[in-house]
Structure 1
Amino acid sequence: MRIEKLYPMTSTRLMVIDVAATLQVAALTLSNPGIGLVVVSEENGKAAGVLSKSDLIRHLTDREAKASVEALMSRNVISCSPADELQAAWQVMVENRIQNMPVLSADAKPLGVLDIRDALKVLFEQEQLQEHMLANYIAGIGY
């Protein structure tokens, strides 16, 4: 299954803030239920980085006086595209120990955020369907 088929899930998790946004704006955005990552964009709408709840919490424990979203965001954005296979995206998330991954267009514009729980749910449902179809085939019921 391709990521583009999960657009209803990934688009609802998409939160974008400007690179010049304050930490308070980032915190308010991340306080929404189900949001674990915000995409930080430049003026042209392209992703410049990401800021996670963990990044913000780490900042609060460090207590830097003059930090900004731009200073805290991760610039090395690990992302996927709508054409990527869900299984491959899930493997990247596991390998990099990330819970949320932005879905970016070919020109690096944010389209959504893939949550690892959503990915696992869909992958599990696919496996259940295949198991059911195989059991029906073996029992002679057909597809």
Structure 2
Amino acid sequence: MHKKIGIAIALLLFSASLAMAAASEEKMNATNGGYTEGATTGTEGGAGIQTVYATITQGQTNWHTKEVKDFITTLNVDLNWGNSGNSLRLKIYSPDGYVFGPYFDIDDGSINGRINRYINNPNGIAKGTWYYEVYGYSVSGTEDYYI
């Protein structure tokens, strides 16, 4: 009898912990708008910004935009300057008030003069203007880049 009660209590505690984990995950998704993000491997698909070529110097901030008008679930952002001797920083601002980043070259595990990220939301990426902030974190001279 005591063994059956012990098993029943163990199952009850296990079920309660699963319910708490599910509620915690639901709360986490509610606080981040359902967005997930990560380093792009080239297989995520999705829409990106039109290619813009620009230059940046030490301490300078450049802003770029992407207008999302249609329903999409993944947004790719590829900042590429190729000179791993210089360091740029990227932040991404969604129209619904979320900030992604800051991102640095090393965030994908490789220092190669590139920050290539995806932002995903299975319920749809927010429509409107997305802002990309590129900052000259550690730049010698003038650095060319495209995003």
Q: Structure 2 length as normaliser, TM-score?
A: 0.27
Greater strand proportion: 2
Greater helix proportion: 1
Q: Which has the larger radius of gyration?
A: 2
Q: Structure 1 length as normaliser, TM-score?
A: 0.27
